[in-house]
Chain A
Amino acid sequence: SQKIEQNSEALNIQEGKTATLTCNYTNYSPAYLQWYRQDPGRGPVFLLLIRENEKEKRKERLKVTFDTTLKQSLFHITASQPADSATYLCALADGQNFVFGPGTRLSVLP
């Protein structure tokens, strides 16, 4: 069956460290994958999109990798700050559908 998973429900890290979040998928062949941030009580906000022919994408302190052989995307936040605390969602395109992972709740501790 088709599945998209994110490594853990919650992740706590110290301020200044690099947070690494994992997104794994099964039985999909996405042309691209997206990452979103969601704060409590609000809608998700788009962060990055990476295509299947791109190994890595960066935006300021954010970095995303995409390994279609491992069927995995890694999302990194370097020099993390308490303001980065949120839930992070990965999403992949399945035709014209979007499928979201369950999310990882990141807490950056001062």
Chain B
Amino acid sequence: NAGVTQTPKFQVLKTGQSMTLQCAQDMNHEYMSWYRQDPGMGLRLIHYSVGAGITDQGEVPNGYNVSRSTTEDFPLRLLLAAPSQTSVYFCASSLIAGHEQYFGPGTRLTVT
């Protein structure tokens, strides 16, 4: 099993550009989530999904979109990148909500 994979590892965007961060898991987990991690702020939940076709907002959803068309994939879209979105982004999955989460290696995003 590859576990949770994320691409790209690093990305630099200009303000106003858009991009999609990819996340995939091969563990047949129902629950998937996206976090951002900033110094001194810890991990903050952006969006989550409890199964294919179902998504919901977390603590900091503004500026981000998600969709879950398959159990395996949970992409995160930045529509109009802003410098405030400079962060490290982690995708995670768990069998169901509340179980131990498996994290991907992260994507380091810089918006200039």
A93-B97 CB under 8 A given contacts A43-B92, A44-B43, A102-B40: yes
Q: Does B76 contact A (CB under 8 A)?
A: no
Bound complex: CA of A46 vs CA of B4, how far in Å? 14
A43-B41 CB under 8 A given contacts A31-B98, A96-B50, A96-B56: no
Q: Which residues on the B side are within 8 Å of A99 (C-beta)?
A: 45, 59
Q: Name A41's closest neighbour in chain B (CB-CB).
A: B106
Interface string of A1-19 (1 = CB under 8 A from B): 0000000000000000000
Q: Does B102 contact A (CB under 8 A)?
A: yes
Contact-residue bracket for chain B? 20 to 34
Bound complex: CA of A34 vs CA of B100, how far in Å? 8
Check B98 against A100 for contact (C-beta < 8 Å): no
Among B4, B42, B59, B99, the residue within 8 A (CB) of A97 is B59
CB proximity of A22 to chain B, nearest CB, Å: 15
Q: Does B75 contact A (CB under 8 A)?
A: no
Check A43 against B97 for contact (C-beta < 8 Å): no
Check A43 against B100 for contact (C-beta < 8 Å): no
Q: Name B104's closest neighbour in chain A (CB-CB).
A: A43
A binding-site residues for B, Cβ under 8 Å: 31-32, 34, 36, 41-46, 49, 89, 91, 93, 96-103
22 cross-chain CB contacts under 8 A: A43-B92, A43-B104, A43-B105, A44-B43, A44-B90, A49-B99, A49-B100, A89-B42, A89-B43, A91-B43, A96-B31, A96-B50, A96-B56, A96-B97, A97-B48, A98-B33, A99-B45, A100-B35, A100-B43, A100-B44, A101-B42, A102-B42
